Amino acid sequence: MDTVRWIITAAPEIFLLLAIAIGTLLGRIRLRGFAIGTTACILIVSVLIGQLGTFTFPSLLRVILFSLFVFTIGYRSGPEFFASLSMRTLAQVAMALVLGGTGLAIVLAFAFSFQLDPGTASGIAAGALTQSSVIGTASGALAQLGLPSDVLKQQEANIAAGYAVTYVLGYIVTLLFVPFVAPKLMRVDLKTEARKLEAELSGGEAPSTENFAYRKFQARAYLVSTAAGRTVKSLEEELGSRTVVERIVRQGLDVEPHLDTTLEAGDNIVITGRTAAIVAARPIIGAEIDADEIIKAIPGNVVEVLVDNRQLHGRSIKDVAERVGGNARGVFLRALTRMGREVPLSPDTRVYVGDVMTLVGSTRNIERAAAKVGQILRAGDRTDVAFLATGIAVGLLAGLVSVKIGSVALTLGGGGGALIAGLVCGWLRSRRPTMGALPPAAQQILSDLGLGGFIAAIGLGNGAAAWAAIQAHGMLLVGMGLVITLVPLIVATLFARYVLRMNPVVTCGALAGAMTVDAAVTGACEVAESQTPVLGVAVPYAVGNVVLTVLGPIIVAATYTG
């Protein structure tokens, strides 16, 4: 033990990294499809390791780690958050606000009834509402109060204790509530409602799996004979399925394929589109020819495009195609992904800022269409470190601003400031794609390492006190956490169903999004045997991340008695 204590004193960062590693590995373990989650496992592991001795980490380390995490959350949610401030998504925003507001009211009611200190109240809010970022914003707010170091340390230990006891319960309850309890409260069968929604989206007929499947995009060359004397527009209209004449070679020279270009006998033309349409083109155009050299000159491509055009937010795919107009000629939508999950495709499927479209077609056509939709995601993008560092610095500066409410200074703190900075920077990036690159892989590593390191530092530094608090008040915290999780979910479900008149399938996705529990979306999709619950995730997820995160300073200000 003397050796262990010496290592703790000389290099506590070793145990911090070990806590992250062990907690991450444990968080990946699934029992019958259920996993506790990385964040909770890291905290539990770090609290247990914290029993070995006294760990001391500089506050600067925790500030930087948490700022990286919360800035990334804001950056990721920024485009969706600002785009959600529109009439088309107002119902989903309202539902997320009701859920967060109800949670805050219950936390404060318990705090006043049981005389909870700010740390404990913030901890159970972070855990029961499954929003880990509350830990950081509450800690930042407590640090602004000028408390003695021993009092501040105990408050942080209470945050860790409240979170450790209530998070796993809140996660499990949300995971079960969304697919099983919410439909019963709304008096619907989720599977049946999903089929109805699919039918509605596809124009009244229940779509088969084949209708949503991607049909292979191809290019073939033909020698014009039958189609001689016809215009490109006339030919494309007869071929249908949005087939496009990509290239015309006449006597060895290229002719620009405008819609009013007239085809001549002997022209070699290349058409692109879905396989079934271009295979049936032979009797309409003429004989198919082996002309690899002219086909290769038209590079086909599959490109992911991030939707950031706010004018397209909340519109159907049909509306988007009409708005893009002629720029969509020769471009096909292969998939639509939202929060990492594929969304069912139909003409009436809604598109939101932050969605990723997978487009198929020739390179020049895709680039033309992408310019009207958003920005092409390129694997070679490098993180704009200057933009990232400046954004976080400005956010931390904004976090120093405080407003006096009675004797308490209400402030966002460094975490809240970094969140707001992330939202703005993410929005700026969507408006000006040439600045502020932070690729998805970089976002994930910053988020995981930032939150994991911060949580581990909290658990290690306050392990003994947190364990004592859990032993003393564990069951009380469990009971309060259960109520804080369940009641907002019930209120939000009934509000969405009977006041907002939201579709029940979309409501299930919105509940999971507002609680920021990704696994609950998967559960709803499995019960519904459909991907339609994903349609309600994006906007509540963005709003929930912001609303729940800022609860930390509010709870501290409301419960601090001086």
Q: What does the domain layout of the chain look like in residue ranges?
A: 58-197+383-559, 226-286, 300-376
> In sequence order, what are the beta bridge partners of 332?
360
Following CA atoms 309, 312, 318, 324 in sequence, which dihedral angle do they give, to the nearest 10 degrees?
Answer: -40
Instruction: Report the relative pairing of strands 350-351 and 315-316 from DSSP bridges.
Output: antiparallel
Is residue 508 within 8 A of residue 536, CB to CB? The reply is yes
The pLDDT of residue 217: 56
End-to-end CA distance of the chain: 40
pLDDT at position 293 is: 57
Among residues 370, 365, 300, the alpha carbon closest in space to that of 329 is found at 365
Q: Which residue has the tokens 């931390």?
A: 396
Q: What's the pLDDT at 209?
A: 34
Angle of helix 90-113 versus helix 118-128 axis, rounded to 10:
140
Which is it for the CA torsion 12, 388, 42, 148, positive or negative?
A: positive
182 Cβ contact partners less than 8 Å away, ≥ 6 residues apart: 489, 493, 504, 507, 508, 511
Provide the β-strand partners of residue 374.
Answer: 307
Task: Give the pLDDT confidence score for residue 404 in this predicted structure.
Answer: 64
Sole residue written with tokens 């008695």: 561
Whether 300-376 and 226-286 are alike in CATH topology: the answer is yes
134 vs 122, 127, 544, 549, 554, CA distance in Å? 7, 9, 12, 5, 10
Taking the C-alpha atoms of residue 132 and residue 455, their distance in angstroms, rounded to an integer, is 9
Tell me, what's the pLDDT at 214?
A: 37
Q: Minimal CA–CA distance to 353: which of 367, 368, 339, 371?
A: 339
- Report whether 516 contacts 451 (CB < 8 A): no
Determine the Cα–Cα distance for residues 378 and 532; give it in Å rounded to an integer. 28
Dihedral (Cα; 431, 432, 438, 443), 10-degree rounding? 0
| 118-128 and 551-559 helices, crossing angle to 10° | 150
2 neighbors 16 (Cβ within 8 angstroms): no
- For residues 66-88, one letter each, b for 16 or more C-beta atoms within 10 angstroms of the residue's C-beta and e for the rest, the string is bbbbbbbbbbbbbbbbbbbeeee
DSSP secondary-structure letter at 178?
Answer: I
Closest CA to 389 of 418, 346, 353: 418
3-state secondary structure at position 279: helix
Nearest residue to 518 (alpha-carbon basis) of 13, 174, 17, 116: 174
Determine the residue type at 369.
Answer: A
Domain spanning 226-286, CATH class? alpha beta
d(CA 81, CA 96): 12
Residues recorded for the chain: 562
Give pLDDT, residue 436: 81
* Cβ neighbours around 242 below 10 Å, total: 17
Q: Any idea which residue has 């409410």 for tokens?
A: 405
CA angle, 97 then 99 then 104, to 5°? 90
pLDDT of the residue at 210 = 33
| CA–CA gap between residue 410 and residue 413 (Å, rounded) | 9
The CA dihedral of 476, 478, 479, 482, to the nearest 10 degrees, is 160
Q: Is 324 in contact with 374 (CB distance < 8 Å)?
A: no
pTM: predicted TM-score of the whole model, two decimal places: 0.72
Q: List the one residue out of 63, 73, 83, 84 whose CA is nearest residue 422.
A: 73
- C-alpha angle 121/127/133, rounded to 5°? 90
| Neighbour-count burial for 117-140, b at 16+ CB within 10 Å, e otherwise | bbbbbbbbbbbbbbbbbbbbbbbb
Query: In terms of Cα–Cα distance, which of 148, 105, 39 is closest to 450?
Result: 39
Could you tell me what percentage of the chain is helix, strand and coil, using 3-state DSSP and rounding each to the nearest 5? 65, 10, 25
Give the other-Cβ count within 10 Å of 160's Cβ: 32
pLDDT in tens, the chain (562 residues): 778 888 888 888 999 999 999 999 988 887 766 667 788 888 889 888 988 888 888 888 888 998 898 899 888 888 777 776 666 678 889 999 999 999 999 999 999 999 999 999 999 999 999 998 898 888 888 888 888 988 988 898 899 888 888 888 888 899 889 999 999 999 999 999 998 888 877 654 444 333 333 344 567 788 888 888 889 888 888 887 677 787 888 887 888 888 888 888 888 888 877 666 777 787 888 888 876 655 555 555 678 888 888 788 888 888 888 888 767 777 778 788 886 678 877 777 888 887 888 887 777 778 888 888 888 877 666 788 888 899 999 988 888 776 666 655 566 677 778 888 988 888 888 777 667 888 878 888 898 899 889 888 888 888 777 788 788 777 888 899 999 999 999 999 999 999 999 999 999 999 999 998 888 888 888 898 888 888 888 889 888 888 888 898 889 988 987 6
The tokens of 327 are what? 């720029």
Q: What is d(CA 33, CA 523) in angstroms, rounded to the nearest whole number?
A: 10
At 40, the amino acid letter reads A
Q: Return the axis-axis angle of helices 518-528 and 504-514, rounded to nearest 10°.
A: 160
Please count the other Cβ atoms lying within 10 Å of the Cβ belonging to residue 337: 15
What is the CATH architecture assignment of 300-376? 2-Layer Sandwich (3.30)
Sheet holding 244-250, edge to edge: 253-255, 244-250, 268-274, 217-223, 288-289
